[in-house]
């Protein structure tokens, strides 16, 4: 298959060569030399297609711009990398990237009032409405990454010295957003099951009020945390936060775009999602949604007036820095959206596949799962200290033996060399791949004489 | 040519269909049904190639994801849109986008200390060094757009109430960055030639000190402004700023990636560039560079410690929010970089072409150029009130007559309907296109009986 993959890339690149000739041609059409170049280009694509079909041919192109390998991780491997799974592009997103890669490609028909979210061609304005409905929130903006959502909200609500509630499992970007605004993170403890509970949030808010005399300016809690992939009771947490008059930001980096997220039902004041983590979009991309109550604050428009020219840019939003996610990333996000929306409805099946694989891994004696179990998400932390790590202890490649074995079976994305605690993500893998993956791990176990219980 | 362009896209898309089959296949290779799908896919590409070569065939694909037109502005038209010209992707960037579109595609080999700018495979760390050398600055980071550079610097240096020097031609994103930090913009007046002079900057700093009792926290001046495309004496301005101990940020959105920019020679403390505006990169992308003196402040690492877990994320930079431009945009920026670096050395030729076209436009009686003249840049503001607008006055399509005429000649990117003052950008057009463009405008003028002086 390696040959077919390589030849597919070569054919795509050879077509881009032809496209470049067309870009150089005058609107009146290619001149004779350009026509000749196109004919030669077509002949090259045809030759590549012959190889593609036959599964033959040695690589003719190995680098892009002289320094970049052709990345084929999603074609040549089953990728279980914890942060990459749900950011894999859809077919339509890849086509969109081809057509909209150029810089300001979204801005061809930008008209008054000159703001990205109001452009109707391509249908960016309608996409914003769709996204708001999808999250059941009132107002959304696209942003270059979830972290920009945290930053915008923290910058709006958090004043120097303000305490902000996060959890002991919070992502580092929440720390940075609070720090940037001059606030101080206050971590909620987790239960022994590594869950953030409403009671623990209430207790922390009480503690903070007692210690600092201030009510937290904001609570940011991960719907599903990055460390265990556990699903936390965010609706319960939102309720508690509101009892103390603390606005609640839902960090949906691992949920918006993978599982159903109903911001209103959860009671979130803000919902943040990640395009490149969970919405099948290129990085950086993301979404920030707010309720009608909070939107005017986080999406406030500029009030600055030039002292000399009296210029005002009244429609531009301060925290968004005006337009946000112009170009290829937004268009790819839009192209993926119909598939992304639909896949959240099949979340139960993703959870089933996750459990199928984890059960297969647990059948290898000595293996433990550190995440909640049965799994409710596709991101899982496992502990193979009692299984694969016992092999690593005496293997000349140490922990890399497992990477070697996986790689040899066309599996990528484990943390190379790690055989104790590590994370993986099965999101989006077909049943066929889930079974192959499960068998591969059991096969490796058996090869190194670990006991594998049969189902 | 329209057919050839359309068929090129269709062939690219049909290859992505094949790629999708390969993505669904197991690492052991396609199963019989998948092999069949690949064969059928190849046959479809071949049929499309026949049409491409012959210039025949009606469009088979008109939408991506059901809602997005196939954008062919760079293939079917000569694009003179003021902000798009230098953000057009290079051939290598388009290939890179194809291979690296998936979410976290840059992160396959992310190892300790887990920060984007230190990844060596793909060679992101080396690219950062190249970029620093290119700008002759000490430290650079990639960012999602120039505006994020302004924001990071303003957030670091500007305290509430601080005055910040900008010019009367400043871009609105500078206003927003200052406002976000709680500062107040103070605009430097322009000369009657629409130039920002060192003397005017000095006078403004004096005024501000007198009025507010404070020294400005920062001066941000556009190397080339977005309104006229005039080249300002930024070295002189930097010198003046430093005489008053005001740090100087060079806004190189229209210069970094198009003309030589030597940050050290200019005396900039910070240089900001735009990937999608001037570095042949997808949006959003950009660069923020600093001197060794300022880098530790704007790129300071986090000091926040979890109160419960004692977690620290010490290597992550607060203003950068950790990693910045992961994914496709960075890789495309890297793929374009060798060509971008090289093209800045041919800047004189770009200026020649700009003047050739503007001279051709000025030959149409009644036409004026509002930018400095002769042109020193490719972005130009023209005034056709005395020429094309006299036609619009009685034409049933009003100002759109010009758009119609241009569009009919395969020219796009003028501000639709505008026949008084408007902007255009000739960056990157070949001499062949420049001549075609010049003739097209003169031809339209002649058609409507405007006088055209012969050279």
Determine the Cα–Cα distance for residues B368 and A33; give it in Å rounded to an integer.
Answer: 37
CATH no., domain B345-447: 3.90.1150.10
Residue B172 has which token pair? 């609105």
Q: List, for residues A227-265, the tens digit of each pLDDT value.
A: 999 999 999 999 999 999 999 999 999 999 999 999 999
Q: Which residues pair with B186 in a beta bridge?
A: B165
3-state secondary structure of B112: coil
Burial class for B114, CB neighbours closer than 10 Å (0-12, 13-18, 19+): middle
Determine the Cα–Cα distance for residues B330 and B320; give it in Å rounded to an integer.
Answer: 15
Determine the Cα–Cα distance for residues B227 and B194; give it in Å rounded to an integer.
Answer: 9
Asked if A95 lies within 8 A of B177 by C-beta distance, the reply is no
- Chain B environment of A59 (Cβ under 8 Å): none
For residue B274, say whether it is annotated as part of any ligand binding site: yes
- Chain B environment of A411 (Cβ under 8 Å): 27
CB B353 within 8 A of CB B378: yes
Determine the Cα–Cα distance for residues B150 and B272; give it in Å rounded to an integer.
Answer: 7
Cα dist from A398 to A364, A395, A452, B23, whole Å: 19, 5, 21, 31
Over its C-alpha atoms, chain A yields an Rg (Å, rounded) of: 25
For residue A147, say whether it is annotated as part of any ligand binding site: yes
Q: Beta-carbon neighbour count of residue B303 at 10 Å?
A: 10
Domain limits, chain A: 2-70, 105-343, 345-447
The size of chain B, in residues, is 455
CB B44 within 8 A of CB B60: no
Rounded to the nearest 5°, which phi and psi values hold at A186? -130, 115
Asked if B108 lies within 8 A of A81 by C-beta distance, the reply is yes
For residue A274, say whether it is annotated as part of any ligand binding site: yes
B28, B69, B101: residue with CB nearest A89: B101
- Chain A environment of B405 (Cβ under 8 Å): none
pLDDT value of residue B454: 84
Q: List, for residues B38-78, the tens digit of each pLDDT value.
A: 999 999 999 999 999 999 999 999 999 999 999 999 999 99
pLDDT value of residue A454: 84
- Chain A environment of B67 (Cβ under 8 Å): 122-123, 334
Determine the Cα–Cα distance for residues A197 and A202; give it in Å rounded to an integer.
Answer: 9
CB half-sphere exposure, B417, CA atoms < 13 A: 3
Per cent of chain B over pLDDT 90 is 99
| DSSP letters for A309-336 | T--B-TTSBTTTTSS-S-SHHHHHHHHH
CB A14 within 8 A of CB A45: yes
- Tell me the H-state helices in A25-123: 32-54, 73-76, 91-100
CB A81 within 8 A of CB A429: no
Q: Which CATH architecture has domain B105-343?
A: 3-Layer(aba) Sandwich (3.40)
Q: List, for residues A294-336, the tens digit of each pLDDT value.
A: 999 999 999 999 999 999 999 999 999 999 999 999 999 999 9
Mean pLDDT of chain B: 97
Give which of B312, B425, B391, B369 is closest to B85, Cα–Cα.
Answer: B425
Longest distance between any two alpha carbons in chain B, whole Å: 81
Asked if A283 lies within 8 A of B106 by C-beta distance, the reply is yes
pLDDT value of residue B455: 64
Rounded to the nearest 5°, which phi and psi values hold at B274? -115, 125
Full pLDDT tens readout for chain B, 455 residues: 899 999 999 999 999 999 999 999 999 999 999 999 999 999 999 999 999 999 999 999 999 999 999 999 999 999 999 999 999 999 999 999 999 999 999 999 999 999 999 999 999 999 999 999 999 999 999 999 999 999 999 999 999 999 999 999 999 999 999 999 999 999 999 999 999 999 999 999 999 999 999 999 999 999 999 999 999 999 999 999 999 999 999 999 999 999 999 999 999 999 999 999 999 999 999 999 999 999 999 999 999 999 999 999 999 999 999 999 999 999 999 999 999 999 999 999 999 999 999 999 999 999 999 999 999 999 999 999 999 999 999 999 999 999 999 999 999 999 999 999 999 999 999 999 999 999 999 999 999 999 999 86
Q: Which residues does B212 contact at the CB level (< 8 Å), separation at least 6? A: B163
Cα dist from A77 to A161, A445, B168, B263, whole Å: 48, 20, 55, 44
Determine the Cα–Cα distance for residues B405 and A174; give it in Å rounded to an integer.
Answer: 53
pLDDT band of A455, cuts 50, 70, 90: low
3-state secondary structure of B302: coil
Give which of A353, A135, A142, A351 is closest to A260, Cα–Cα.
Answer: A135
Longest distance between any two alpha carbons in chain A, whole Å: 81
CB A318 within 8 A of CB A300: yes
Rounded to the nearest 5°, which phi and psi values hold at A139? -135, 135
B9, B39, B187: residue with CB nearest A307: B187
Asked if B105-343 and B345-447 have one fold, the answer is no
For residue B407, say whether it is annotated as part of any ligand binding site: no
Give which of B392, B455, B378 is closest to B424, Cα–Cα.
Answer: B378
For chains A and B, CB pairs below 8 A equal: 442
């Amino acid at each position: 298959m390696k040959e077919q993959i390589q030849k597919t890339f070569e054919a795509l690149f050879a077509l881009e060569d032809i496209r470049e000739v067309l870009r150089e041609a005058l609107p009146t059409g290619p001149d004779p030399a350009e026509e000749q170049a196109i004919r030669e280009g077509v002949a090259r694509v045809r030759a590549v297609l012959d190889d593609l079909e036959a599964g033959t041919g040695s690589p003719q192109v190995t680098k892009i711009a002289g320094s970049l390998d052709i990345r084929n991780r999603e074609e040549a491997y089953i990728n279980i990398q914890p942060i990459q799974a749900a950011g894999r592009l859809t077919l339509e997103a890849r086509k969109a990237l081809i057509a909209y890669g150029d810089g300001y490609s979204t801005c061809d028909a930008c008209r008054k009032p000159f703001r990205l979210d109001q452009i109707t061609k391509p249908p960016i304005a309608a996409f914003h409405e769709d996204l708001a409905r999808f999250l059941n929130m009132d107002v959304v903006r696209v942003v270059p990454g979830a972290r920009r959502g945290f930053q915008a909200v923290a910058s709006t609500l958090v004043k120097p010295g303000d305490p902000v509630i996060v959890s002991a499992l919070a992502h580092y970007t929440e720390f940075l957003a609070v720090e940037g605004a001059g606030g101080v993170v206050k971590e909620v403890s987790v239960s022994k099951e590594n869950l953030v509970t409403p009671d623990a949030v209430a207790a922390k808010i009480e503690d903070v009020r007692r210690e600092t005399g201030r009510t937290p300016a904001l609570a940011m809690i991960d719907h599903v945390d990055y460390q265990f992939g556990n699903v936390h009771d965010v609706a319960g947490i939102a309720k508690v936060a509101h009892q103390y008059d603390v606005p609640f930001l839902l960090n949906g980096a691992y949920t918006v775009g993978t599982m159903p997220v109903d911001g209103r039902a959860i009671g979130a004041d803000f919902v943040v999602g990640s395009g490149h983590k969970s919405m099948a979009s290129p990085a950086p991309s993301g979404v920030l949604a707010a309720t009608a109550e909070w939107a005017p604050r986080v999406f406030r428009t500029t009030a600055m007036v030039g002292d000399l020219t009296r210029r005002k840019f009244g429609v531009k939003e301060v925290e968004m820095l005006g337009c946000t996610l112009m170009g290829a990333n937004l268009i790819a996000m839009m192209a993926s959206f119909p598939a992304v929306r639909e896949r959240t409805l099949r979340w139960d099946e993703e959870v089933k596949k996750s459990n199928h694989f984890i059960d297969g891994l647990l059948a290898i004696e000595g293996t433990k799962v550190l995440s909640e179990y049965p799994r409710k998400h596709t991101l899982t932390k496992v502990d193979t200290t009692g299984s694969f790590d016992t092999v690593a202890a005496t293997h000349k490649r140490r922990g890399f033996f497992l990477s070697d074995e996986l790689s040899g079976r066309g599996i990528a994305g484990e943390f190379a060399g790690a055989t104790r605690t590590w994370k993986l993500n099965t999101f989006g893998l077909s049943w066929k791949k889930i079974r192959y993956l499960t068998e591969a791990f059991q096969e490796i176990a058996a090869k190194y004489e670990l006991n594998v219980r049969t189902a």
